[in-house]
Structure 1
Amino acid sequence: MGFSVSASAAILFTSILLMASTLYITWENTYYQIMDAKSYWYKIRESQLHFNAKISSLAAVGTDLQVNFTYLGTPIDGVFDVIFDGTYNQTVASYPYLIPNVEYSYVISGGTSDTLTHNVVQAFANGCVLKFQYQYNGTTVNLLSQSVYCPGVD
């Protein structure tokens, strides 16, 4: 007993429909992933174009350095890394977001243990950095310079 022509055609037609629906779902998922990536790229780029931050104050707390900075750009993720004299120091995850015109602070352990000139880099999730240089003279912390850099932004 074999299949009739109409049964074979029905099986073939059903197989083609299943294959087409699977391909459509795959295409649709790929399309939405591309759109999400494009939206993410635009958000990152916008945060880089509008990124700005400045050191508000530096203070010695024992042998530690308390850094206060004001964020002036569009809201971004509040997690950032601190690099102290070219060495990874810490990840600051105290703030869920950085909001414009708000002052934030963190502490660098051992940041005022000597009177040498020190360099600090705050690296943010959007690729931008706030760099500053300071020196502790035994009583006060002097901010020597600061700058902001974002990749691809002139």
Structure 2
Amino acid sequence: MEIAASDKISMLPHRVSLHTEHLTSLTDYISLHTKHLTTLTDHICMNTKHITSMNDHISLHTNHLTSLTDHISLHTNHLTSLTDHIPLRTNHLTSLTDHIPLRTNHLTSLTDHISMNTKHITSLTDYISLHTDYFSGSPVPTTEKRTVI
């Protein structure tokens, strides 16, 4: 069954209309895909910015941890120095504690020595006085005993 030429001509507007609707649908479809791609591009851009922000945030935290590690290291060094310094101070105080009785003993010895020398000088003075009295003709006391050291 063949279609007459007049029927074909009469069907042309309907076929053009169908093709126009198909082209409109394709255009809408392409437009939707374009919008979808634009949305995907925006989404990728936002995710890239988010990843960059996260990287910056991680970098800040890394720097903060590095600073904290340096700070802890400084405190550890300070405590080590203090720990080394404390025995030195303790030794110094022990030395001072040992030195004080030695100085006290030395001063006691000096005091005793001065006292003995004073007694010796007193005895010498008495001895000289006796001899002076003897040679000058003064009477020599006989009841008084003198101790010469």
TM-score (norm 2): 0.33
TM-score (norm 1): 0.32
Question: Relative contact order (C-alpha < 8 Å, sep 6+): which is higher?
Answer: 1
Q: Normalized per residue, which structure has more helix?
A: 2
Q: Normalized per residue, which structure has more strand?
A: 1
